[in-house]
Amino acid sequence: MKTKAVGMDKSWLDRKLASSKFRKGFEEELQKLAIGEQLARLRLEAGLTQAQVAKRTGTTASAISRYENAEYDRYELRTLQKIVRACGGRLEIFLEPGPKTHRAA
């Protein structure tokens, strides 16, 4: 059985990411997943349940669960701030310029 040398062939993901449409959707989904995962990790590291975070933020446990779900995409900055503070964390948002092709002329 032949094996390919590492790095010699593009992976399926690399080939798919060559499509700008696929890449845009992939990056959006990855960002949503990252937000939910970070919220859940922050809460767990603080030793809190969703119900405890909900009580501290004045919302419901189901709302906290939604924010931790990778499928959720309607985040509100104020609510994110409340959840992060309730877990003893700090929220930072970074904005970066895109490629030069997306800049105004």
CATH number at residue 43: 1.10.260.40
Which pTM does this prediction carry?
0.66
Q: Is residue 36 part of a domain?
A: yes
Dump pLDDT digits (tens) for 18-67: 888 877 776 776 666 688 899 999 999 999 999 999 999 999 999 999 99
Question: Which structural domain range is residue 33 located in?
Answer: 20-87
Q: Is residue 5 part of a domain?
A: no
Q: Is residue 101 part of a domain?
A: no
Rounded to 10 degrees, the C-alpha dihedral 70/76/78/82 comes to -20
Higher local confidence (pLDDT), 1 or 85: 85
Q: Is residue 97 part of a domain?
A: no
Give the whole-angstrom CA distance, residue 57 versus residue 81. Answer: 10
Give the whole-angstrom CA distance, residue 1 versus residue 43. Answer: 47
The count of structural domains within the chain is: 1
